[in-house]
Amino acid sequence: MRIYKKRSFWIILFFLISIFSLTIGVEDFSFINLLKGQSDDIQILLLSRIPRLMSIIVTASILSINGLVMQTMANNKFVSPSTTGVMDWCKLGVLVVLLFFHDAGSLLKISVALIFGMFGSFFFMKLIRIIKTRDNLLVPLIGIMLGGVVGSISSFFAFKFDLIQNISSWLQGNFSLISKGNYEILYLGLPLLILVYIYANLFTISGLGEKVTTSLGLNQNKILSLGMMIISATTAIVVVMIGSIPFIGLIVPNIVSMLKGDNIKSTIFDTALVGSYFLLLCDMLGRVIYMPYEVPISVVVGVLGSFIFLFILLRRKNYAG
C-alpha cells in the first residue's frame, strides 16, 4: 500500500509539472486567457504545447524501457541503445533513405532504420560472444567504438553527397519542431512497449544466462531476437521522429534498479515515469536557459546525463567495494 501511495504522489507531481511546462515557450500562453476562450491560446495549446508534451513522454518511455530491457538481457548495467551502436546504425539507415529516396516518408525511414538497427544489434551481440569478455565496462566501450565507426561512415557519405548539414541538424535530438500532425508516428512505439510488459518475465529470465533459460525449457536465441527487434523498432521510431538523445536508456534504468531492483515487470512503469521526469525537466531547462532561443534537448541531456552517469559509476564502485 505504501508503494502505491508513493507512486501516486510522483504521478500527481509529474502531472502538475507537465501542466506548468505547457506555459513555457517563445509564444505567450496563459491558462487564464485559455479559459476566456482566446483562439490564439487554444491553437498554441492544441497545435504545439500538448503534442510536444506527449512526444516527450512517449520518447522518454521508449528510450528508458529500451535501456531496461537491454541491460537485463545483457546482464550489464552499462549497455543501452546509445552505447551499443544501435542508434548509430539507425542513423545510417536514415542516411541511406535520404541518399536514394529524397522525398521518402517517415514510415520508409523507420522501416530502413529498423533493418539497420536489427543488423547492428545482432552484429554487436555476435561480437561480444566472440570476444567473451567478463568485464562489464569493456562491453559498452566496444559498443561505443563500434558506434563511432558506423557514425564515421555516415558522416563520410553525408559529406560526399552534401547532406552533412541536413543530417546533422535533423538527427540532433530536438522537440522544437514538434507540432500536431508530424509527431503521431511516435505512438507506434506504444504497442511494442506493451509487448515488453507481456514478455517481461522472459526477458528477465534470459538475463540469468543461457543455462538457466534452457533448463526452464526456453529458447535463449528467440528471446534475444524478440527483445532486439522491439529495441531496434522503437529506437528507429525515435531517431526518425525526434533524433538522437543520449544517456536516457543508460542512466534511468540504473536509477530505478538501485531503488527497486531488476525485475522488468515490476519496474517498467517506474522506469517510464523516471525517464519522463528527466526528459521533461531537461526540455524545460533547454527552453528557459537561453530564451528566446532553445537549446537542443540532446545537448541538455548530454551534459546532465554525463554527470549523473559519473555519479552512478562512483556509487556502484563504492557499493562493490
Residues in the chain: 321
Beta bridge partners of 244: 172
The boundaries of the domain holding residue 107 are 2-320
Number of domains in the chain: 1
Task: Provide the pLDDT for residue 314.
Answer: 80
pLDDT band at 38 (very low <50, low <70, confident <90, very high): low
What's the pLDDT band for 33 if we cut at 50, 70, 90? Answer: low
| Among 242, 170, 182, 179, residue whose Cα is nearest residue 52 | 179
pLDDT band with cut points at 50, 70 and 90 for residue 65: very high
Q: What CATH number is attached to the domain comprising 234? A: 1.10.3470.10
Residue partners of 133: CB distance under 8 A and separation at least 6: 139, 142
pLDDT at 195: 93
Question: pLDDT, tens digit, for every residue of 203-228?
Answer: 988 888 888 888 888 888 888 889 98
Phi, psi angles (nearest 5°) of residue 138: -70, -35
